[in-house]
Homo-oligomer: A and B are copies of this chain.
Amino acid sequence: MKPKTSVLPLDECDEVLDEWYKEVCYCGGIVEYYPIEGSYVLLDTPMQIWDQIKSFLDAEMKNMNVKKCHFPLTSEVDSWADVLKKSMYPYLRKWIRFPSHLPLKLNQWCNAPRHKLINPTPFLRCREFMWQEGHGAFATKKEAYVDLLKVLEMYRRLYEELLAVPVLLGRKSENEKQVGGLYSTSAQVFIPETGHGVEGASAHCLGQTYAKTFNILFEDKNGEKAMVWQTSWDLNTTAIGLMLMIHGDDKGLVLPPRVAPVQVVVIPEICQGVDAKRIYDACEDIALILERSSFCVEVEKRRNIPLSTRHTLWERKGVPLRIQIGPAQLDNNTAVLVRRDDGCKKSVSRDSLADDVHAILEDIQGSLFKKAKTKRDSCVEEVEDWAQFLKALKKRRLVLAPWCDEEGVEMDIKRRSDGLAKHFGTPFSQPPMSLGTLCFASGKLAKSWSYWTWTSC
């Protein structure tokens, strides 16, 4: 059972959600377990979803004039990011000479091993992940910033429009930012059931740190040597795990129609004394009509599984829409449509089936996002002082607090909360703040609203 946010048995919710998640991943045909702990065989559904994520990001990056590349595999490493820099940055130095070579943006898709592994979970904590890492070099700090905002907007659209997962875009704190960088931003996902925050994607302004180390220079308009400003941004297969975790329910997976490899399953409802062939033929006809309208359709053909089990199996897999055709539908030229997200049933004429299916799938996509956003937003709790903060945090709320944004104070917050409070981002979209508002933790003048979440220690 997926734990309910409203009736949280707080000390158990992590474990309950974890168990539920592993179960729906396995029963929904997402992964097979593997003899090595933290390693999973990824099946057709997640690979197709990952391909869709790649296509979406590739198209967006092409518009942003990001070039593709592939740097050689290196052997066992501690930090893949470090290796990429060591591999890639000497080439930036070689390729960049004049302002006309800027901006230079590169992206690489790769697989990487993860070496530190606690409590393995498919996609979220596993021994291998697939990812995309982008690198940018710019003539000015401002251009780097403007480009990072575009990258974040790309990630936001991926999460919200494709995966129907609401994200919060914001700046990371000094303690959470990429080491050596100037500042970091991210798209953050909140898990209402446990109160945890998970980074959905990140985008860093690296400043000129690496430009200095690797001597990445260009000749500016005055003929003088200038250093580039660098960025990097990345997203990995965590995105798949977050999507599965956010939408799934007690019946299993719930896949958003835009990425579901099977959007519609057609189920012949055969019972005794019924002309089975006519029903099967009608199902095949429906599949053909929907495929012509570019829907991904499958007809359930297994005859040795009881009808109720068949429904359950497809519900577990999270297929957004089920079409049922029985004798009654055969006679009156209708079809019964059952939504996976809310279980609603509707009988429609088969004459306008493609239009109805289109409308319902669009509605499911929108509903999933709206539902997830409402649920997340209902977890937000605004606090003013330390007592309120600690109380909300322990209830595993998404705490919004006025903050002085000082590195020392963040360390202090961690210490005073026994390591349980984690900065979730200083949102770009700031609620209004009254003049003279004080920091919840230090009592100094607050600079901005920031989000905080509970972290397992």
Query: Is A72 a contact partner of B32 (Cβ separation < 8 A)?
Result: no
Chain B neighbourhood of A34, CB < 8 A: 72, 87
How many residues on A have C-beta within 8 angstroms of the other chain's C-beta atoms? 35
How many copies of the shown chain assemble into the complex?
2
Beta-carbon contacts under 8 Å, A28-52 to B = 32, 34, 36, 39-44, 46-48, 51
Q: In the assembled complex, which residues on chain B have CB atoms less than 8 Å from the CB atom of A32?
A: 91, 94
For residue A47, which residue of chain B has the nearest CB? B68
Q: A32-B91, A58-B51, A100-B302 are in contact. Are A128 and B42 (CB under 8 A)?
A: no
A304 proximity list for chain B (CB < 8 A): 100
A39 to B91, CA, bound (A): 14
Give Cα A47–Cα B94 distance, bound, in whole angstroms: 20
Asked if A44 and B69 sit within 8 Å, CB to CB, the answer is yes
Q: Which residue of B lies closest to A62 (CB)?
A: B48
Main DSSP-derived SS at the A contact region = mixed
**Given known A-B contacts A41-B91, A91-B32, A91-B41, A51 and B73 have beta carbons under 8 A apart:** no
Most chain B CB atoms below 10 A, which of A40, A47, A76, A87: A47
**Residues of chain B within 8 A of A42, CB atoms compared:** 69-70
A87 to B87, CA, bound (A): 31
**Selected contact of A36 from candidates B39, B47, B72, B91, CB within 8 Å:** B72
Nearest-Cβ distance from residue A56 to partner chain B, whole angstroms: 14
Top 4 A-B pairs, shortest CB-CB distance: A47-B68, A39-B72, A42-B70, A44-B67
Additional pairs, 15, CB under 8 Å, beyond known A36-B72, A43-B67 = A34-B72, A39-B72, A41-B70, A41-B72, A42-B70, A43-B68, A43-B69, A46-B70, A48-B68, A51-B58, A70-B130, A72-B127, A73-B111, A73-B113, A110-B111
